Each structure stands twice: as structure tokens, then as C-alpha cells.
Chains A and B, each alone.
Chain A
Amino acid sequence: MATTLTERRSEAARGADWREILIWAGTALGVAGMYMAILYAPEEATMSHAQRIFYVHVPSAWVGFLAFGVVFAASVGFLWTRRRSFDLAAHASTEIGVVFTTLAIASGAVWGKSAWGTWWTWDPRLTTTFMLWFIYVVSLMVRAYGGSGGQSARFAAVLGIVGFLDIPLIHLSVVWWRSLHPLPVVVSSEGFGSGLPPEMLYALLVNVAAFTLLYVALFSIRRAQMGAQDAIAAQRDDDRRSTFRRGLPGIQEGSR
């Protein structure tokens, strides 16, 4: 963050970078989305105003799964190429994904309370989202406790791949187990969006777009932060070694 006057001036002169633009765009779209969710969209027939949390729940769940897809792709990339940038991408997406998934579950619980009277129901989509949350959390545990840097990165990548392949199976097994979710209003057998009045659909799409933009912005910021942390650590290690070796006779860098 620019604190001194000179820093602020030079930052202003540089102009906004694309991450800032994304944040602003996402926020603006989010505000529009909230307006549409609260005031524009009509009241739902069976449930009351509390149903409007649907406009937070669905987009956050969408982003939670999208983020995990990114984790999967980055994990495959990491194991394939061993490039640290893939690992950092997977890590950043995991952190942000868990936040959105938590939001999805919390908002889902609130919606459930207003719609069915209980804070938790084991309906398939909510359950699968909950399992995804667990996989995220375990992923973060593996990164924290998985041992030295290279090892925990590899383990997290393996978990990213195994988890991603598991999610459909988890979902199918839960669907077979029970089904209590109200008729899917967005995607149904008659086609996309046919169960929803158009105003609700627009409100939903605007919110989905807003959340997605915010995800992309947060992801790129976090990813850049991690890259910077890495660079600092590498520089520190270099400095430590060169201090040690300064003034020792007979040693040339890379000598045979």
C-alpha cells in the first residue's frame, strides 16, 4: 500500500492496473446484483422475502465449484510440469474457493431455515457442497501440515485431482440416498431457466457474473501475493548464502 506522498503520486501516475479494474467492476456489478435481488426481482410464490438469499447462495456455490475446477486444472498442470506457478495458482484458488463455499453453505442454511423450517437438510446439492467444503478444508490442512514445501505442494495437487474426480461420485451417491431439493428452478428438464420468471433469472445472472468477476480478481491478487512471497524468500536465501561465502578462498560459483 502506498503510504508516503511520493509513493501515492507515482502510483496514481501509473494508472489503475487490471486487478483493480476487476475489483471495481465486480463490486459495481455486485451492487447492481444486490439491488436487483432485493428490489427488482419479484417475490417468490411459496417462500417469502427470505428466499432472496438464493441470489447469494447460487452464485457462491457456483464460484465454489468453479474454484475447485481451477484447483484441478492447476494441480494437473503442477504434476505435469513441476512449475511452481501452477502450485501457487492451486493454493490461491483453494483459499478463495473455501471462502465462497463457506458462504454458499451458510446462505443455504439460512434459505433452508426460511423455506423448510430447519437449519440443515440433507438435500443432494447442499450435501455435495458441504462435502466440497470438507475437501477444501482438508486441502488446506495438507498444505499446512504436509511437510516441507515441495511435498505438501505435491500432496495438495494429488488431493485436488482425486477430490475433483470424486465430487460427481459423491453427488450421485447422495442423490441416490435422498432427494429433498425443491424443483431445480434454474436447470430443469424443460431447459435452462424455464422454471424462473425472467426478472429472477436476470437478477440471478447478474449476481453470478458479479461473483465470478470477484473470484477472478481475488484469485489474481492472492496469486500475485504468493508469487511475491516466494520471490522474497528466495532472495533471503540467496543473501544468506552469499554472506556466508564472502571472503572464503578458493571457491568460484559453479566451479567444476
Chain B
Amino acid sequence: MSALAVVRQLLWKDLLLELRTREILTAMTVFAMLVAVVFNFAFSPSPQDALRLLPGMLWVTLAFASTLGLSRSFVLERDQQCLEALRLFPFDPGLIYAGKLLSNLLALLAVEILLLPALAVIAGVPLLGHIGALAAVLLLGSVGLVAVGTLFSAMSVNTRIREVLLPVLLFPLAAPVLISGVRSTLGILAGRPWADVLPGVRLLVAFDVIFVVVGYLIFEYVVEE
């Protein structure tokens, strides 16, 4: 069976499970909205401030919301030791990582699609003009978050302190994504020329490529016994 077909099948399973209950999506979206509102309480940004603060608020909100979805994604495999069953299949364990990466990515992107307009309205910042560049940066950043997040989620789900361990692992290691994501978003919203934003985008691409590959190769060592 081709690798693509395997990943497609794994993704189908995750989507089917999630679409039936919509637990993860609902939790992530509600949580993201709440965090965004709390930020607004905390900073009470004026219209001038809002433009400066929005990128930070956006990315921190996404970082927190992603931990919710990421931890859930392997918990549902834990229930009946389904991860063992997945490891019994005759394909490379890295494909399990690829399947989970894609389902986590889709979940995060869905939250972003809902969050972005809400944030624009709450913060009073017009985003539509830059939507193309913003979408690109958000996509790159989401891939980065999910690439390391999926790996660490598989690690932390097997520990006593799994709720704490995942964010503690994710945030330092996803720092380049958060830093580059925020700076690039700031640059885009401020209307800076593409050359100013390019270093950040390059960093995001490098991060994505490196850690998707590393994640794929190293995943089998995380799940083996």
C-alpha cells in the first residue's frame, strides 16, 4: 500500500472520529475565543495599540489552543491501546506521525479560520487587505507548531504529567515559530515591504522542513518499546 494511501486512511479515521463528536474542534475554538477576550481585558488596546498587539495576541492564542488539540489527538489512541495496533501494521511508523500531523494541522487551521475574523472584529483591526500574506504566514507557522507538537504529544501522552509536559515541551522548542510568526504578521499588517518580512518567512520554512523531516524519522523511537 502506498505511503500516500496509508496517510489518507489514517487521516480519514481521525476526521471521521472528530466529525462525529466535534469535541476537539469545539474545545479548541471556544478556548481560543476566551483567550482572545481575556487578552482584550488585560490590555484594553486602543485602535492604535490594537494593530501592534494583535499579532502577539493571535499567536499566543494559537499556541495555547494548539496544545488542547495536540494532546487530545493521541489520547484517543490511548483508549484501547490503538497506537499499538497502528504499530502492528506493515508500514513505517513515521507514517503514523504524518497522519497525525495532518489531522492536527487541519484542526488548527479550522480554528484559525474561525478565530481570525473574530479577532479582527474584537480588536477592530481590518485584516482583509492582507489576507493572502497572512494566510501564508499562518499556514507556515501552523505546520511548524504541529510538526513538533505532534512529536511531543506522542511523548507526553505516556507520562504521568501529560497535561503539563506538552506545553512545557512545546513552547521553548516552538519559540522560532512564535517569534517569526509574530514579527512577520506585524510586518504584514504594518504594510512593510516584502523584503522586511522575508527573513521571518524563510525561518518558518526552514523550521517546517527540518522538523517535519526530523519528526518523521524520529517518531518510531518515541513510540517503540
Task: Choose among B155, B176, B180 the residue that contacts A142 (Cβ–Cβ < 8 A).
Answer: B155
Q: A138-B168, A154-B221, A154-B222 are in contact. Are A169 and B176 (CB under 8 A)?
A: yes
Q: Which of A35-43, A112-120, A145-153, A202-210 has 4 or more CB atoms under 8 Å from chain B?
A: A145-153
Cβ of A188 within 8 Å of any chain B Cβ, yes or no, is no
Interface size on B, residues (CB 8 A): 30
Q: A141-B165, A173-B180, A177-B179 are in contact. Are A166 and B221 (CB under 8 A)?
A: no
Within 8 A of B (CB), among A123-167: 131, 134-135, 138, 141-142, 145-147, 150-151, 154-155, 157-159, 161-163, 165-166
Q: Are A162 and B175 in contact (CB under 8 A)?
A: no
Q: Are B203 and A173 in contact (CB under 8 A)?
A: yes
Cβ of A174 within 8 Å of any chain B Cβ, yes or no, is yes
- Most chain A CB within 10 A, of B165, B173, B224, is at B173
**B contact residues around A135 at 8 Å (CB):** 172-173
Q: Are A172 and B203 in contact (CB under 8 A)?
A: yes
| Closest chain B residue, CB of each to CB of A152 | B159
Cβ of A18 within 8 Å of any chain B Cβ, yes or no, is no
**A contact residues around B200 at 8 Å (CB):** 173, 176
Cβ of A53 within 8 Å of any chain B Cβ, yes or no, is no
Nearest-Cβ distance from residue B158 to partner chain A, whole angstroms = 6
Cβ of A186 within 8 Å of any chain B Cβ, yes or no, is no
Within 8 A of B (CB), among A8-38: none
Cβ of B169 within 8 Å of any chain A Cβ, yes or no, is yes
Cβ of B199 within 8 Å of any chain A Cβ, yes or no, is yes
Q: Are A162 and B172 in contact (CB under 8 A)?
A: no
- Most chain A CB within 10 A, of B155, B211, B224, is at B155
Nearest-Cβ distance from residue B182 to partner chain A, whole angstroms = 9
Task: Choose among B155, B160, B175, B210 the residue that contacts A158 (Cβ–Cβ < 8 A).
Answer: B155
Main secondary structure of the interface of A (DSSP, over half): helix
Q: Are B159 and A165 in contact (CB under 8 A)?
A: no
Q: Are A166 and B176 in contact (CB under 8 A)?
A: yes
Q: Are B148 and A158 in contact (CB under 8 A)?
A: no
**CA distance in complex: A150, B224 (Å):** 10
Main secondary structure of the interface of B (DSSP, over half): helix
Within 8 A of B (CB), among A177-198: 177
**B contact residues around A79 at 8 Å (CB):** 218, 221
Within 8 A of A (CB), among B178-213: 179-180, 183, 199-200, 203, 206-207, 210-211
| Closest chain B residue, CB of each to CB of A128 | B175
**CA distance in complex: A79, B207 (Å):** 23
**CA distance in complex: A134, B173 (Å):** 9
Q: A169-B203, A176-B203 are in contact. Are A145 and B165 (CB under 8 A)?
A: yes
**B contact residues around A165 at 8 Å (CB):** 210-211, 214
Q: Are A162 and B151 in contact (CB under 8 A)?
A: yes
Cβ of B42 within 8 Å of any chain A Cβ, yes or no, is no
Cβ of B88 within 8 Å of any chain A Cβ, yes or no, is no
Q: Which residues of A contact B (CB under 8 A)?
A: 79, 131, 134-135, 138, 141-142, 145-147, 150-151, 154-155, 157-159, 161-163, 165-166, 169-170, 172-174, 176-177
List 20 interface pairs A-B (beta carbons < 8 Å), by A numbering. A138-B168, A141-B165, A145-B160, A146-B158, A150-B225, A154-B222, A155-B155, A158-B218, A159-B169, A161-B214, A162-B214, A166-B176, A169-B176, A169-B203, A170-B175, A172-B176, A173-B180, A173-B200, A176-B179, A177-B179
Known A135-B173, A158-B155, A173-B203; further 19 A-B contacts with Cβ < 8 A: A138-B168, A141-B168, A142-B155, A145-B159, A147-B159, A150-B225, A154-B222, A155-B222, A159-B155, A161-B218, A162-B214, A165-B214, A166-B173, A166-B211, A169-B206, A169-B210, A176-B179, A177-B179, A177-B183
